[in-house]
Structure 1
Amino acid sequence: MPANPELLASIKNQVCYTNLVYERVNKKLKVDLALPEIKKLVQDILSDDQTTVEKRGKNYYVSGLNFSTRLTIN
């Protein structure tokens, strides 16, 4: 579904990062990004006008089409 700008803004303002998040991002993308780089990537995806969001159960699946990346937000 097309991204709801208000929903994405809310997610962007409330997203938090744990060490597990950093580890998973690096593992899934097969990279070794520093913490600030991961935060920037997530914020860039959430800010992009090509981003879509889908709610399934308690999770939001945010797809950054320009980044070929999907974020799972719970």
Structure 2
Amino acid sequence: MNNFKEVILNKFCYTDLVYGRINKKLNLTLSNPEIEELILKIISETAPSEFIKKGKNIYITNHTKKVRLTINSFTNRIITADKM
């Protein structure tokens, strides 16, 4: 079994556009550092079994926070966050 959680925690990054996308999709008004803190917390608190690779993306589903993150598996960039 691949340990996507460990890899993502060590290498994930952001693009400038993703901050606005996360605020919009999650209906938030957080600053960039607050978004980074939120994403780190979501990834850290999610069980490794909830990291699912489909095609080029890894989907991280956190049922407690009711959020699904999408991360590009090649670049480890956060693509988006969706409410569940």
- Would the TM-score normalized by the shorter structure come out above 0.5? yes
Range with bigger deviation, 61-70 or 50-59: 50-59
Question: Identity over aligned residues, as a percent?
Answer: 42
CA contact (8 A) 2:51 2:59 kept: yes
Query: In 2, Cα distance between the equivalents of 1:41 and 1:5?
Result: 24
Poorly superposed stretches of 4+, deviation over 3 Å = none
* Structure 2 partner of 1:72: 70
Amino acid at match of 1:57: G
Find the partner of 1:11 among 8, 27, 36.
8
Q: How has the CA–CA distance of structure 1 residues 5 and 40 changed in structure 2, closer, same or farther, with 3 Å as cutoff?
A: farther
TM-score with structure 1 length normalisation? Answer: 0.84
The separation in 2 between residues aligned to 1:27 and 1:20, in whole angstroms, is 11
Q: 1:20 Cα shift?
A: 1.0
Question: Please, which runs of 5 or more residues in structure 2 have no aligned partner?
Answer: 73-84
Listed one character per residue, the Cα deviations across residues 18-61 of structure 1 (whole Å, up to 9, x for unaligned) are 11110110010111101111101111111114461111001000
Aligned length: 71
Match of 1:60 in 2: 58
Letter of the 1:10 counterpart: V
- Partner of 2:28, secondary structure, is coil
Larger RCO: 1 or 2 (CA < 8 Å, sep 6+): 2
